[in-house]
Structure 1
Amino acid sequence: MEQHLTYFISHYGYVGIYAALALGVIGLPLPDEALMAFLGYMVSKGNVLFSLSLLSAFLGSATGITVSYILGLKLGLPFLKKYGPKIHITEQKLQWTHNLFEKYGSVLLFIGYFIPGIRHITAYLAGISGMERRTFALFAYSGALLWSFSFIMLGRALGENWHRVERIAHRYGWYLIICIVLLGLVSALLLRLRRSRA
């Protein structure tokens, strides 16, 4: 895989990273986490710039999730049911994500990036449910930034062992999600306390 990713980045550069992540978030079967971890490794070697790597990854993720949201908003659930299986969005995944979305809504949009198979569906459901654009932008884009930053930094820290990132993500991903949710709840509680005192 390293040889393919090296070839890809050397030929297509930051524009290629942007396009790959945009298409990956929309639902095409591309190795999103592996690409960002490899980017982190390339940053550690000095082959690419951290700032431009993060920017291209963030913008690609943000573009992909925005396209998914607009498709959900304009075309609705029938479109997803018809074309979803072609990009590995099965009826079972759709139903499971829909149930989670009903419970957690915008929070799932934020943490969904870290759950393989879920980040491809949350934005469609946000559009289908008619989520307000400002709410969508706040949670989707902040999630995209955190996801991009986390995996690039993880790849940078792992160095030559960057390929272990998928194993680490699958093994510890849920712990990371729990930490993010707890952090979000504590932040919301502190904000509410400040408002009540004011």
Structure 2
Amino acid sequence: MEQFLNDLVLQYGYVGLIVALAAGIVGIPVPDELLLTFVGYRVAQGYMSYTVALLCGFTGAMLGITISYVLGLKLGLPILQKYGRKVGITEEKINRTHTLFEKYGPFLLMIGYFLPGVRHLTAYFAGISTLSFRKFSFYAYFGAFIWVSLFVTIGLRLGENWHFVSYCIHHYGAMLTLTVLFLGITWWIYIQFIRKTKQNQI
């Protein structure tokens, strides 16, 4: 895996980062978190710029999530069910994300990046449900910024030990997913509570 990431970054640089992240979010099998962490490691080595890496990573994530949204908006669920399996998007993942999106709506766009098998589908369902582009972009792009910044910075701080992220994802992926989901739902409930409190005061 390290050789693949090294070749990708060395040969295609920042452009490769943009294209790979966009493809990964659309559904092509790409180790997104590992790629971002490796880029952070390259920043630590002095081969890449931290600011440019963040901008390119954000651009790739934003591009990929927007393409998914447009596909969902224009083509709907049938195209996802028909061709999704070819890029690893199974019926089980589709049903699970659909259920989550019905419960938590656009908020899932923001935390979906941290949920394996979910970030590839949230934008599709945002498009399928005809969520307005303004609302979609607010949640999706904000989540992309946090996601990209977090993993690039982790790679920068870990340096030579950047592989530790791969170990954590492999061994504690389910636990991390549940933790992020719990924190996200708690935050969402808190925001809703504050909003209702303000409405009652008016």
Instruction: State the TM-score, normalizing by the size of structure 1.
Output: 0.92
Superposition pairs of residues 164-175 of structure 1, within 5 angstroms: 164-169=164-169, 170=173, 171-175=175-179
- Cα offset, 1:191, TM superposition: 5.4
Shift of 1:30: 0.7
How many pairs are equivalent? 198
1:65 matched to 2:69? The reply is: no
Task: Check conservation: 2:22, 2:62, Cα contact below 8 A.
Answer: yes
**Which residue of structure 2 aligns with residue 56 of structure 1?**
56
2:108 alignment counterpart = 108
Distance (Å, rounded) in 1 between the aligned partners of 2:74 and 2:26 = 15
Summarize the Cα distance change of 1:76–1:190 in structure 2 as closer, same or farther, 3 Å threshold: same
Match of 2:139, as an amino acid? Answer: F
Aligned partner (choices 170, 180, 184) of residue 176 of structure 1: 180
Q: Deviations over 1:93-126 (max 9, x none)?
A: 1111111111111111111111111111111111
Distance 2:177 2:45 in 1: 26
Tell me which residue corresponds to 2:96: 96
Structure 1 residue 159: Cα displacement = 1.7
- 1:112-159 C-alpha deviation (Å, 9 max, x unpaired): 111111111111111011111111001111111111111111222222
Residue identity matched to 2:177: G
Query: What is the match of residue 81 of structure 1?
Result: 81
**Structure-2 separation of matches of 1:127 and 1:193:** 31
Q: Kindly tell me: are residues 152 and 177 of structure 1, through their superposed partners in 2, closer, same or farther at Cα, counting changes over 3 Å?
A: farther
Structure 1 residue 36 displacement after superposition: 0.3
Structure 2 unaligned residues grouped into runs of 5+: none
In structure 2, the partner of 1:186 is 190
What is the aligned partner in structure 2 of residue 20 from structure 1?
20
Q: Please tell me the root mean square deviation across aligned C-alpha atoms, in Å.
A: 1.8
Name segments (4+ residues, structure 1) moved above 3 Å. Answer: 183-198
Structure 1 distance, partners of 2:44, 2:125, is 37
Alignment of 1:97-136 (within 5 A): 97-136=97-136
Partner of 1:159: 159
Cα distance in 1, alignment partners of residues 49 and 197 from structure 2? 41
Match of 1:41 in 2: 41
Aligned twin of 1:31: 31
Gapped runs of 5+ residues in structure 1? none
2:40 and 2:70 map into 1 onto residues whose CA distance is: 30
